[in-house]
Amino acid sequence: MDDRVRVVIAEDSVLLREGLTRLLTDRGHDVVAGVGDAEALIKTVADLAAENALPDVVVADVRMPPTHTDEGVRAAVRLRREHPGIGVLVLSQYVEEQYATELLAGSSTGVGYLLKDRVADVREFLDAVVRVARGGTALDPEVVAQLLGRSRKQDVLAGLTPREREVLGLMAEGRTNSAVAKQLVVSDGAVEKHVSNIFMKLGLSPSDGDHRRVLAVLTYLRS
């Protein structure tokens, strides 16, 4: 399969870890390791790096032993710093705005933040894993909604129309133009026009190439 990816799973719940492993392997993906704490995650990735066999993506719980606070997200941030080529998708029981912001503060590619309830939507979860592994973004709509609420208090997006904000919010979830058009029940051309206006208003020139989409989303999330 063309979208097969290599995955490391970090989740202290054995039941959930095994469930994720089965879910991914049943779809043809290669789960190269499964660990139960942040320390083991860091060591496992380091060992794979030494063998020149880094995974495409790490799927990690935000909260892991020993304190079950922020070990998982801190490990994810560290991995993004030490191994920029690895995608990182973190799972959380609730929206942790601080953790989401910290995770997104580094590299602009290969990052995802989903609520654990989203795993129940198998297709959406699998799409998110592959998208993050390929350098894209996958943000839970609830995370985007909270960050959007905060961004309304800022000036950086003040020039966007309500519809442009809506389009940018859907872009932040990792949706393509076609998916945005379907969600908003508009034409692809209308979405392309909105996206162009967003780039212009955020000062993102054509010279930024394909990264303009990512830069626009990051401007939105960091505002």
Query: Could you tell me the pLDDT band of residue 107, with boundaries at 50, 70 and 90?
Result: low
Query: Could you tell me the pLDDT band of residue 153, with boundaries at 50, 70 and 90?
Result: very low
221 or 140: whose pLDDT is higher?
A: 140
Contact by Cβ (8 Å): 183, 144: no
How far apart (Å, rounded) are the C-alpha atoms in residues 215 and 21? 32
Instruction: Give pLDDT, residue 19.
Output: 93
- H and E: helices and strands count for the chain: 10, 6
Whether the bond into 66 is cis, omega within 30 of 0: yes
How far apart (Å, rounded) are the C-alpha atoms in residues 189 and 41? 44
pTM of the predicted protein model: 0.71
Where in the chain are all domains bearing CATH 3.40.50.2300? 6-149
Q: Architecture of 160-222 per CATH?
A: Orthogonal Bundle (1.10)
**CATH homologous superfamily for the domain 6-149:** Response regulator (3.40.50.2300)
Beta bridge partners of 40: none
Out of 101-115, 145-159, 194-208, which region has the weakest mean confidence (pLDDT)?
145-159
CA distances from 43 to 25, 54, 182 (A): 23, 12, 43
Residue holding tokens 């496992």? 44
Give 18-34 pLDDT, tens digit per residue.
999 999 999 999 999 99
Asked whether the predicted pLDDT for residue 54 surpasses 80, the reply is: yes
Instruction: Give pLDDT, residue 175.
Output: 82
